[in-house]
Structure 1
Amino acid sequence: MRSTKRFIGVTRIATSLGYYLTIPLLGVVALRAGAMSPIEVGTLVAVHAVFRRGLALPVGVLCDRRGAERVLVLGLVAEAAGYALLASSITFPIWLAALVIDGAGGAAYNSAGRVVLARVAKDDGSSARSFAGFYVATQVGALAGPLAGALVSAGGAPRLVLVLSAVVYLGAAAGALLRYRKVERTPPARRQGSWRTAFAEPLRHKLFVGHCVLTVPMWFGVSLFVSAVPLEAEHRGLQYVDVGLINSMNALVVVALGHAAGRLTEGWAMSRRWVLLGGGSLVMAAGCLLCLPAGTPWFYAGMLVVTVGELALIVAADVVASELAPNGATGVYLGYTTMSWGLGAVLAGLLSGFLLDGSSTGRLWFWPAAAALLLTGATGLVTVGRRQARRPTVIAATA
């Protein structure tokens, strides 16, 4: 079990390093090269999110039925190919194709890695710590990636970061191939019925559907670091390094506090996790409002507060989904959770591309709208959590 967790953690660090070397800076690179408009940049972010998050559902079912290890390896290979294509040319059609390929590969790796982790964590009762560790590993790579990418780009070689990302993913894929050639794969749980049945079953679970819908605003908030930060930085006249520093600040907070948050919340009742998610969404809303003033320190402070809210997400969202999932359906349940992430990311990409167009009026609409969305999610999450907390008392009183 420990070796599996360690392997997932190491590959997650590598893949997040490759991702964050490149993705947070794509918008700035494209705009400063004069190759794309803000709308095209927003479209790229949205399309990438559709494939990276939206394909998680069929990939999750595939993991449940065929086993997650092979899916994990194929995903890493696809991501390496996507980054190689990104490095070949800074044009909208090429980048669109590259981000489709990378998005599909990312869906495969992320879904398969979390299914493997959930399976092991259920056996030893460490779900909160394990999923927190997964996101901490993500941010370890994210801590160095944006800053390194910004420094290389500022040195006049923005394409070099794309090449470096491809190399990192190739290394991770090679490591996964070696591991799963030598160890026996855990046989997947056999699920009866068609793929349509597998897709439909979670939608009959009202509490799970509510979880997916109400966490969309929080995934929107997390996605602001990729979609809104580069465009807002361009409007404020900031540099590559500022974009890198803001993303590295986000990573540093998660790395520093993520494991502690996981240990603190291990064993919490599900109702308590719902309320925690609501509190995190409320904190993110406050962070968005802090981004309204024109001064650069306000921008940094606002995104720092958004990061604090993100801590609730990493220790609760996947844990709730995996606890609600029946045996043999963890992949599809986590797939729907990832689709919520995808919907939030698409919304962030489109809204930021539309409103953060370089005009002062657009940004004055964007940040309050983001805060309102997060406040709506917070209200729903806390309401459901309180209802769930009262339910055992009601049952006991009427028994």
Structure 2
Amino acid sequence: MTVSVPAPASAASGPRPAPAADPSGRRVIVTVVAIQLAASLGFFSVMAHLVAHLRHDLGLLAGTVGLVLGVRVGLQFALLLPVGTVTDLLGARRTGMISCAVRALGFVMLGAAESVGALLCAAVVLAVGGALYNPAGHSLLASVGPGSRSGGFAAYVVAQHLATVAGPPMGLLLLGAGPGFALLTGTAAALWTVAGVLFLFVPRPGGKSAPTRFRDVLAGVRAVLGDRAFLVFALLTAPTTLLANHIMTAVPLLGFKPAVATLCFSLLAMVAAAVQPFVAVRRRGERPWVLRSGLLCAAAGFFVLAALDGTQPGPLMLAAVLNGAANGLVQPSVFQRTARRAPPERFGSYYGVLAFCAGMFSFAGDLVIGRLFDLGPAGAAWALTGVGACALLAVAGTMAGPAAGPVAGPARGE
């Protein structure tokens, strides 16, 4: 039985007239989508081939690969707890520019790294840049009117998935040319630099609703931690980052060739992009069944992966379709429901808490899964089955817990 969570106190006064279309809001969406396209193209062109580089070019064990990847993901999302609130202080525009500069440096360091220590340093820099980037982009989208927010986020995620389709093939081409991985990471750094420049075109905020002192920001953190319904939601959705990202680690470790892995990731991204418009229409992402359906698809996808050994491309494509459907349903659902719950001036704080929970879960999962893969095919099967089981536990939690999410019923008071 699902217990509805009441709308925020600010909504108690009843519905307000829908705001008129805001040209600056449309400009924010267009600019942020362009930023996301450039940044994601650089990111996925590298990440689709990073595991193969670490495993085969540098000869690292699966456990060490999991450590490098886990440090990047875990630290990035751990930093979101304070960085989300800092975004409220500095402003999303300024935070976004800083994030792109740091990420560009991280990719340059990654291309030059040949030892575990150097790789971990690069992972730390990439984590800091990612921690700054995510709340900046999401905060800008959350700042537009509620009528445009769902469509804007759908376009934002579609841009990410288009980059996921184009990035891996671009990475293959760059790996085959000249310096190989160094050229690939250098190209990614250049794309993140372009994204940083594009942040200059984001309109400056007209009002002064955001907190201006660190004391105000700390008050925002306390407000989020006092929102018990949202904290339950954050804990129940903690597995979502691991579910979304781990297929890019698992497929190369299972022994699939780079061309097959690239096809898998591209198919996954196309399916996710195709699902986005469905979720964006009429703000369907706020409905609990959307999140649950996505989690069920993710569980099914990892159960399929658990039965593979690197020689079965057909079932791998089925897993890609299931994982793509999961991403297309889960990502916008989590965003829409968080944006509906959080006050506009505190969105960074809310997002930081949500992403912190997801990142810590993903960090721990990557470490355990990497160790299990080192045990051989049986360990890999247990690891992937465990990831699928996490998705099922999240579904059960959203159905039986004290709250299915931060909102229930039609949005009010926006």
TM-score range, shorter chain: 0.7 to 0.9
Contact 1:191 1:328 in 2 (8 A): no
- Please give the secondary structure, in 2, of the residue aligned with 1:266: helix
Provide closer, same or farther for how the CA distance between residues 311 and 388 of structure 1 changes in structure 2, counting only shifts above 3 A: closer
Name the structure 2 match of 1:103: 127
Contact 1:131 1:314 in 2 (8 A): no
- Please give the secondary structure, in 1, of the residue aligned with 2:44: helix
- Please give the secondary structure, in 2, of the residue aligned with 1:125: helix
Q: Among residues 353, 361, 382, which one is paired with 2:378 in the alignment?
A: 361
Name the structure 1 match of 2:396: 379
Q: Report deviation, 1:339.
A: 1.7
Name the structure 2 match of 1:251: 269
Equivalents in 2 of 1:387, 1:262: separation in Å? 20
Q: Report deviation, 1:194.
A: 5.2
Equivalents in 2 of 1:310, 1:132: separation in Å? 12
Partner AA of 1:329 in structure 2 = R
Name the structure 2 match of 1:231: 253
Partner AA of 1:284 in structure 2 = A
Q: Among residues 126, 148, 155, which one is paired with 2:170 in the alignment?
A: 148
Provide closer, same or farther for how the CA distance between residues 382 and 133 of structure 1 changes in structure 2, counting only shifts above 3 A: farther
Q: Report deviation, 1:172.
A: 1.7
Equivalents in 2 of 1:390, 1:166: separation in Å? 39
Equivalents in 1 of 2:209, 2:251: separation in Å? 40
Q: Report deviation, 1:292.
A: 2.7
The yes-or-no answer on 1:161 pairing with 2:184 is yes
Provide closer, same or farther for how the CA distance between residues 83 and 335 of structure 1 changes in structure 2, counting only shifts above 3 A: same
Contact 1:224 1:348 in 2 (8 A): no
Provide closer, same or farther for how the CA distance between residues 382 and 129 of structure 1 changes in structure 2, counting only shifts above 3 A: farther
* Structure 1 range deviating more: 183-192 or 135-144: 183-192
| TM-score normalised to structure 1 length | 0.88
Name the structure 1 match of 2:85: 61
Name the structure 1 match of 2:160: 138
Partner AA of 1:350 in structure 2 = L
Q: Among residues 198, 204, 229, which one is paired with 2:220 in the alignment?
A: 198
Provide closer, same or farther for how the CA distance between residues 298 and 383 of structure 1 changes in structure 2, counting only shifts above 3 A: same
Q: Among residues 121, 126, 135, which one is paired with 2:148 in the alignment?
A: 126
Deviations 1:100-147 (A, max 9, x none): 111111111111111011011xx2423322222221111111110012
Equivalents in 2 of 1:5, 1:185: separation in Å? 14
Specify which structure has the higher proportion of helix. Answer: 1
Q: Report deviation, 1:250.
A: 1.5
Q: Report deviation, 1:285.
A: 0.8
What is the number of equivalent residue pairs in this alignment?
A: 379
Equivalents in 2 of 1:297, 1:391: separation in Å? 40
Name the structure 2 match of 1:395: none
Contact 1:280 1:378 in 2 (8 A): no
Name the structure 2 match of 1:25: 49
Deviations 1:82-105 (A, max 9, x none): 111111233221121112111111
Contact 1:149 1:244 in 2 (8 A): no
Equivalents in 2 of 1:383, 1:194: separation in Å? 35
- Please give the secondary structure, in 2, of the residue aligned with 1:291: helix
Provide closer, same or farther for how the CA distance between residues 388 and 88 of structure 1 changes in structure 2, counting only shifts above 3 A: closer
| TM-score normalised to structure 2 length | 0.85
1:212-291 matched pairs, under 5 angstroms = 212-232=234-254, 234=255, 238-263=256-281, 265-266=282-283, 270=286, 273-291=287-305
Contact 1:227 1:352 in 2 (8 A): no
Provide closer, same or farther for how the CA distance between residues 366 and 99 of structure 1 changes in structure 2, counting only shifts above 3 A: same
Equivalents in 1 of 2:132, 2:248: separation in Å? 20
Q: Among residues 229, 245, 254, which one is paired with 1:207 in the alignment?
A: 229
Contact 1:143 1:247 in 2 (8 A): yes
Name the structure 2 match of 1:397: none
Provide closer, same or farther for how the CA distance between residues 146 and 31 of structure 1 changes in structure 2, counting only shifts above 3 A: same
Contact 1:227 1:348 in 2 (8 A): no
Equivalents in 1 of 2:402, 2:294: separation in Å? 13
Equivalents in 2 of 1:59, 1:387: separation in Å? 27
Partner AA of 1:20 in structure 2 = F
Contact 1:13 1:137 in 2 (8 A): yes
Contact 1:63 1:188 in 2 (8 A): no
Q: Report deviation, 1:81.
A: 0.6
Q: Among residues 72, 94, 110, which one is paired with 1:70 in the alignment?
A: 94
Q: Report deviation, 1:165.
A: 0.6
Name the structure 2 match of 1:296: 313
Contact 1:54 1:339 in 2 (8 A): yes
Deviations 1:192-212 (A, max 9, x none): 845443322212211101111
Equivalents in 1 of 2:283, 2:237: separation in Å? 20
Equivalents in 2 of 1:239, 1:158: separation in Å? 17
* Structure 1 range deviating more: 239-248 or 371-380: 239-248
Provide closer, same or farther for how the CA distance between residues 106 and 376 of structure 1 changes in structure 2, counting only shifts above 3 A: same
Provide closer, same or farther for how the CA distance between residues 330 and 389 of structure 1 changes in structure 2, counting only shifts above 3 A: closer
